A and B are shown apart, each in its own frame.
Chain A
Amino acid sequence: MKVLVVEDSVRLQEAISEGLRESGYAVDVVGDGQQGLIHAQTSDYDVIVLDLMLPRLDGLSVLRRLRQIGSAAPILILTAKYTVEDRVRGLRTGADDYLIKPFAFAELVARVGALARRGHGQASPRITVADLVIDTAARTVARAGSAVELTAREYALLEYLAHRRGKPVPRLELEEHVYDEHRQVMSNAVDTTICRLRAKLDAGGRPPLIHTRRGFGYVLDQDSP
């Protein structure tokens, strides 16, 4: 799950990006509206966290332009503007959610998670594939009733595949949604993570759930087609 944070306060940039990364998100951070617009147009984000008072281009203009060009990325406005009119204006302009500063960090993470889920057409936080259950709210994974311990990166990969279950996901898309733009990604990082995931999920001789599409990517499904 990849999140774009458009926020001009350096301290908030730091806190939000660190907090979201620790929660298993890949996070890109920009400090002004223009950069935000460029990033949102050139990359596919699962959620965009957008401040309103921004240098160069204000948040509402960013929002309006993104919606004009047909971007459907879920957008959460995170701002100190707290009046009802501000909130209504933000939501009417095309925002999916509105959170007022100061905020509880857990709430920001929960809202970002809910938006990401909805963005993938998933209303319930529980995704079930055969005997695999992923609780995206609690960020826990269980296979046949017993918990599976995953690293943040492994979980992020699995969750992304789970949102697209039954559909092959290109390796590049996985890379883009699981790693930040500034992290140097080893060319085989996705493959090695998938390998570790398989080992953990299929422990005890259970039938494999992650299948390889040669030259394309991976698919999470009950049976290999």
Chain B
Amino acid sequence: MKSIRGHLAASLLVGLLAVLTAGGAALYGAMRLTLTREFDGALLAKAHALVQASRFEHGQFEFDFVADVMPEFVRRERAEYFQISDADGQVLERSRSLGDGVLSAGEPVSTSPVLWGVRLPDGRPGRALGLEFTPQLDLDGEPAVREGGAPRPDPQPVHLIVARGREDIDRPLSALLGGMAIAAVLLVSGTVYAVHRAVTTGLSPVREFVEQVCAIDAPSLSARVSAEATPAELAPVGAAINDLLGRLEGAFQRERRFSAGVAHELRTPIAELRSLTEVAARWPDDHERAGRAVRHAFDIAAQMQGMVAALLTLARAQSGEQPLELEPVEVRAAVEGAWARLAVRAGARGVTMRLDVAPGLSVVAEPAMLGSIAYNLLDNAVEYSPAGARIACLGAEDQGTVTLHVRNPAPELTPGDLARLFEPFWRKDAARTGGGRVGLGLALVKSLVETMGGTVGVDHGDGELTVSVHLPAPGGGGESRG
């Protein structure tokens, strides 16, 4: 699982550490360069002073070293060293600090100064400067031509090597390193703390958001994630959750209404059954009454059985658990089949039907489901039409959708009733007197149609109710498999 907090903290920390490291390295490098330059400048100045002290007199090299002026070449502590040798490597002059030691050139010495790192005779690390120069000719009191006629020898170039310890470079640098290390420790711990704080406070809206969401449970589905308390970055999540909650709440409410409807519908027949049998049992010798009670009990059982069957079908259609076997089904045959089952009841009420569905008009549906849809539509029309009414059943195809209209006179229906028509257990006037009416027929039709990817519609005008079912036509592009 990804932790935003861990990820943010880690990347912030790594980034800050990289910046700090780079900054420290740059500072160290600049410091080292400056110190080395200063050191080398001082070394060069010393070399020049030594050059000044060199002469060529009487044909040989002379050196006027004044120990007082340059004590560093004499002392033992933090001693500095020089050595002057001729071109053959013969040492002409060396600092007292060098004793009998020799400074070897790390680089070829030339007339321009060269510098290199060196290990000093006392073991310290140091830097050395090598320079080739020609000592000044001193002619004080010397004839231009030597005795014996020998020409005055020209001054010969000599090699000077000056070396001193790198302490002046290394000490400040190590002090700098130490300072930087302390600073780094402080910075890193400060950074860790700051990052932790920043990430924690930065993510606190997320935590509050999560708390809000966690507080929502089944009884409080009407709660919504508040928009003010939701960080902008999580607004889409909040909106999605609110949307989901809205749908859940709706579903729960429907479920509750449905359960309440079921409970209510079961209470009435149970009350009938109980009262009838109780009253009959009070007077066991009244056989006529007992006979009537038994007949009623049988009717009630049949009614409850029908209701349970309808409920099961509805639940099955809504759950969508069974895979659908969709195939082209002829509408007219389905309507005729349903009407045949209703003919007796319709005949008793003098209700007739005008069937206006072209033979061959087909929809993509599951045959049993289409039969159930047609039956429930017509059953509803037969039941709630006035006696002697004429029901119209029309079929039409338009742009890949087949529509089946069932129209019947419904003079008592008001426009306000239309919205509730497909609600389970809804019946106009709540009149339960009509024997086996449960109020599930149209709810079942809607569920079945929607399960097969269709829609239902309802229209009311001139005292006539039209319930329409839209289902995809075969090859109409609107085919869907649920």
Binding site for B on A (CB under 8 A): 8-12, 14-16, 18-19, 22, 31, 53-56, 58, 80-83, 100-106, 108
Contact = CB atoms under 8 A, between A and B. Distances in A.
Given A15-B276, A82-B263, A102-B271, 9 more contacts: A9-B268, A11-B275, A11-B276, A14-B292, A19-B279, A55-B431, A80-B267, A101-B267, A108-B275
A11 B296 contact: yes
B196 interface: no
Interface in B398-449: 429-433
Given A11-B300, A55-B430, A103-B275, A22 B270 contact: no
Interface in B253-270: 260, 263-264, 267-268, 270
A123 to B, nearest CB: 27
Contact of B429 (A55, A80, A83, A100): A55
A105 B272 CA distance: 11
A16 B274 CA distance: 11
For the complex, would chain B's binding face be called helix, strand, loop or mixed by DSSP majority? helix
A91 to B, nearest CB: 19
Interface of B: 260, 263-264, 267-268, 270-276, 278-279, 282-283, 289, 292-293, 296, 299-300, 429-433
A8 B278 contact: no
Contacts of A81: 264
Contacts of B296: 11, 14
B271 A103 contact: yes
Nearest to A101: B271
B431 A16 contact: no
B433 A9 contact: yes
A70 to B, nearest CB: 28
Contacts of B273: 102
Contacts of A11: 272, 275-276, 296, 299-300
A14 B276 CA distance: 8
A80 B279 contact: no
Given A55-B429, A56-B429, A9 B279 contact: no
A58 B428 CA distance: 12
Q: Which of B272, B275, B283, B430 has the most CB of A within 10 A?
A: B275
A146 B296 CA distance: 42
A102 B267 contact: yes
A14 B299 CA distance: 15
Contacts of B299: 11
18 contacts: A8-B431, A9-B271, A10-B433, A11-B272, A12-B271, A12-B272, A14-B296, A15-B276, A19-B278, A19-B279, A31-B433, A53-B432, A82-B264, A102-B267, A102-B270, A102-B271, A102-B273, A105-B274
Contacts of B274: 102-105
A152 to B, nearest CB: 12
B439 to A, nearest CB: 12
A19 B280 CA distance: 9
Nearest to A99: B271
B271 A80 contact: yes
Contact of A12 (B275, B282, B289, B429): B275
B270 A101 contact: yes
Given A80-B264, A100-B267, A53 B430 contact: yes
B275 to A, nearest CB: 4
Contacts of B263: 80, 82
